[in-house]
Amino acid sequence: MNVLVNGLPGKMAHIVAEVCAERGFELVPFSLTGEDVSAKSEKVGNADFELLKPSEREDKIAQILKNYPNLISVDYTHPSAVNCNAEFYVKHKIPFVMGTTGGDREALMSLVKSVNHPCIIAPNMAKQIVAFQAMLEWTAANFPSAFNGYSLSVVESHQKTKADTSGTAKAVVKSLLGMGAKFNEGKDIEMVRDENNQVGRMAVPEEHLGGHAFHTYSLDSSDNSVHFEFRHNVCGRRIYAEGTADAVQFLSEKITQGRVGVFDMIAVLRG
Contact 102, 167 (CB under 8 A): yes
Q: Say if residue 138's pLDDT is above 80.
A: yes
- DSSP code at position 211: S
Q: Active-site residues: which are they? A: 158, 162
Classify the phi-psi angles of 188: left when phi > 0, otherwise alpha if psi is within -120 to 50, otherwise beta. beta
The pLDDT tens digits for 184-212 are: 877 899 999 999 999 999 999 999 999 99
Give the global pTM: 0.85
How many residues appear in the chain?
Answer: 271
The pLDDT tens digits for 152-177 are: 999 999 999 888 888 889 989 999 99
Residue 241 phi, psi (nearest 5): -65, -40
Q: How far is CA 211 from CA 81, 171, 177, 179, 231, in A?
A: 21, 21, 28, 31, 17
- Please give the CATH number for the structural domain made up of 127-235: 3.30.360.10
CATH fold of 2-121+238-270 = Rossmann fold (3.40.50)
- DSSP code at position 123: S
Q: How far apart are the first and last CA of the chain?
A: 18
Q: Could you give the 3-state DSSP secondary structure of residue 131?
A: helix
Provide CATH 3.40.50.720 ranges for the chain: 2-121+238-270
Cα gap 164→105, rounded to integer Å: 13
